[in-house]
Structure 1
Amino acid sequence: MSGAVPFDDYVASLGRLTAIVDPTASTPEAEAITEAVASLEQLPDVDASSLAWWARHNAQSVHVLGLAVGLGQEKLKAALTTEFGSAGFVTLARRRPTELIAMLDEQFDLLRLLRVQRNRTYGLADVLIARAGPRATASGGQASGRKIEDEISAIATDLGLPHTQRSRFTGRQGRTAPADLIVPDADNASIVVAAKGFDSTGSKLTDAVREIEEMAEVRLPRQYVFAVIDGIGWHRRKADLKKIHSLWANDHIDGMYTLASLDQFRADLRDAATRLGLG
């Protein structure tokens, strides 16, 4: 196994996980929304019958009506499932547009909100307020965490190691702990890996530390524990990051890596698998 590098060197290797995106650049999704809104603005009146007609003829764009009342696609699907037993807004728009519009109006005040927003002039402050909302950041956080999981899973696959993702493994005295990658499986864990990537900061970083501490605490002597941690969010939570580094420095876990040192992770994972007779 590789030895622990100095903490400051580890911090220096942290990189950004999520791409910097130009918020003014157009995307296919943005263009589709623009086209849907343009067709809504062409309606002579906003009433239940005109929106039902629009929904039937623009079924693929019905999620825009959800945006008009503050519902992203997932929340819209949840509301439709509760009401109709189906999250398929395209099918509902084609087959039951009148009922769909009635539900959105009764539960979310669709007609009034759409009339107000069609006639309102928006300024830069309105745009920036919208970008500051949770919908602007939630998917990015998930993507950054998933990036590390995908990378370590690809390495395990390339090494020919059977594995499972995002599960719990059993250690000392039957106690369990979470892991983002387990070789070969949750019931027979020999190697467990934590994958924690954050470009933003918050309590989730402290939760990540707690999970890795739990992994180190319940591990059996024959089990290897690795952690792959990256993202610029850790720069503002160095005390939390140092707790994990201390586990590595004191041999409570077997390795700690960033995306920049995945070659070393691959070598250590292969070495651990060989020692355990897995590869």
Structure 2
Amino acid sequence: MSDAGDFDDYLKTLGRLTSHVDPTASTPEAERITTATGSLGELLDTDVAGLAAWVRDHPADVPVLGLAVGLSQEKLKNVLRDRFGTTGWHGVARTQPVDLVTWLDTEFDLVRMLRTQLERTYTFADILVARAGSRVTATRAGASGRRIEDEIESIAQDLGLDYTTRSRFTGRNGRTAPADLIIGDPDTADIVVAAKGFDSTGSKLTDAVREIEEMAEVRLPRQLVLAVIDGIGWKSRQSDLRRIHQLWADRQIDGMYTLVSLDRFREDVREFATLRRLI
């Protein structure tokens, strides 16, 4: 394994994980929402009976009603599970359309909210307010983290290693710690890897540091602990990034990489796996 380099040199290798998204560009989801709201606007009566008939004929568009009352798709699934015992709005819309709409109206004031919004004229300020609360940011944040996970998983596959993703491994005194990639049986892991990519900032970066510190604390001497860290969000939380780098400098973890140094990550994993006769 290579020695820890200078922190500032590492900082310079951090790059953006997600590309800029044009907020005015259309997407398949946007097209579906546009079509659904168009058909809603054509309803003669936006009362419970009219909406029940609409969801029966358009079961795939139930999330649009959720958006009308402020429910994201994930929140809609959660409340459906609580009320109907399923997250599948298609089935509920087909078999219980009246119950579904009645419940949405009782719990979330659907009819009034829908009528108010269909009749309202929106300004540019309204667009920006809505965009500020968009779930696009959360989706892209998740995608940035998964990019690193996908890259290191691909390396494990290419090397022919047995691995587990997003689980816990067992270390000192039977204690466990989280890892994004575990090579070998999680109970007797040989190599464990943290993959932490963020283009935005927030407490999640501190949580990521704690996970890596937990990995370092739990590890057995025979276990290789690596961290792949990238994304411009870390540039705003340099104190957190320094804590990880210090673990590397103190040899509490064995390597720290960014996406641009994945070739070195691959070679370090291959070398250790060869020594342990994993490949």
Question: Residues 46-65 of structure 1 correspond to what in structure 2 (within 5 A)?
Answer: 46-65=46-65
- Displacement, 1:59? 1.3
Question: Residues 140-219 of structure 1 correspond to what in structure 2 (within 5 A)?
Answer: 140-219=140-219
The corresponding residue for 1:130 is: 130
Cα deviation 1:184-205 (Å, max 9, x = unaligned): 1211111110111111111111
Cα deviation 1:201-235 (Å, max 9, x = unaligned): 11111111111112112211111110000010000
Cα deviation 1:27-81 (Å, max 9, x = unaligned): 0110110010011111122111111111111111111001000111111121111
The corresponding residue for 2:27 is: 27
Q: Distance in 1 between matches of 2:243 and 2:16?
A: 21
Q: Check the 8 A contact 1:2/1:264 in 2, yes or no.
A: no
Question: Residues 1-279 of structure 1 correspond to what in structure 2 (within 5 A)?
Answer: 1-133=1-133, 135-279=135-279
Question: Normalising by the residue count of structure 2, what TM-score does the alignment of the two structures yield?
Answer: 0.97
Cα deviation 1:139-171 (Å, max 9, x = unaligned): 222111111111111100110010111111122
Query: What is the percent sequence identity of the aligned residues?
Result: 65
- Displacement, 1:19? 1.9
- Displacement, 1:9? 1.4
SS of the aligned residue for 2:227 comes to strand
Q: Distance in 1 between matches of 2:274 and 2:239?
A: 34
- Displacement, 1:175? 2.1
Q: Distance in 1 between matches of 2:149 and 2:100?
A: 39
After TM superposition, the structure 1 stretch with the greater mean CA deviation from structure 2, 75-84 or 28-37, is: 75-84
Superposition misfits of 4+ residues, deviation over 4 angstroms: none
Structure 1 residues 118 and 134: CA distance shift in structure 2, 3 A: closer
Question: Normalising by the residue count of structure 1, what TM-score does the alignment of the two structures yield?
Answer: 0.97
Q: Which amino acid aligns with 1:224?
A: L
SS of the aligned residue for 1:137 comes to helix
Q: Which amino acid aligns with 1:100?
A: L
Q: Distance in 1 between matches of 2:63 and 2:134?
A: 18
Once superposed, what is the RMSD of the aligned Cα atoms?
1.2
SS of the aligned residue for 1:22 comes to coil
Q: Which amino acid aligns with 1:45?
A: D
Q: Distance in 1 between matches of 2:145 and 2:33?
A: 28
Q: Which amino acid aligns with 1:200?
A: S
Q: Distance in 2 between matches of 1:272 and 1:204?
A: 30
The gaps in structure 1 that reach 5 residues or longer are: none
Q: Which amino acid aligns with 1:222?
A: R
Q: Give the total of aligned pairs.
A: 279
